[in-house]
Amino acid sequence: MKMKIKELKDGMRKVDITARVLEVSEPREVISRFSGQVFRVADAIIGDETGTIKLTLWNEQIEQVKVNDTIKIENGYVRSFRGERQLNVGKFGKITVL
């Protein structure tokens, strides 16, 4: 089911959405508390005609998207982090540049 950004709520799963990339932050490194592994993470702001949301990008996803790309996210999920709604792709989701 295609959704719009304004419809996204904390805790939603299986989110499919198409949006434009408005900005991408510089990647930063985070260390897993569990494995000690180092991951790269960046935040993208994506938007459609109904609003914007922060999209968290991990590792190779960071290179996949650029500002002004239109992307399709399949099987994403929404959660709040530090009081802000964020869209995540996770292990089972997929980002496609259209």
How many domains, in total, are found in the chain?
Answer: 1
pLDDT in tens, 3-31: 999 999 999 999 999 999 999 999 999 99
Nearest to 55 by CA among 41, 68, 44, 39: 44
d(CA 71, CA 46): 9
Nearest to 17 by CA among 57, 59, 47: 47
Whole-model pTM?
0.90
The answer to whether residue 1 scores a pLDDT higher than 60 is no
Residue 59's CATH number:
2.40.50.140
| Structural domain boundaries enclosing 46 | 2-97
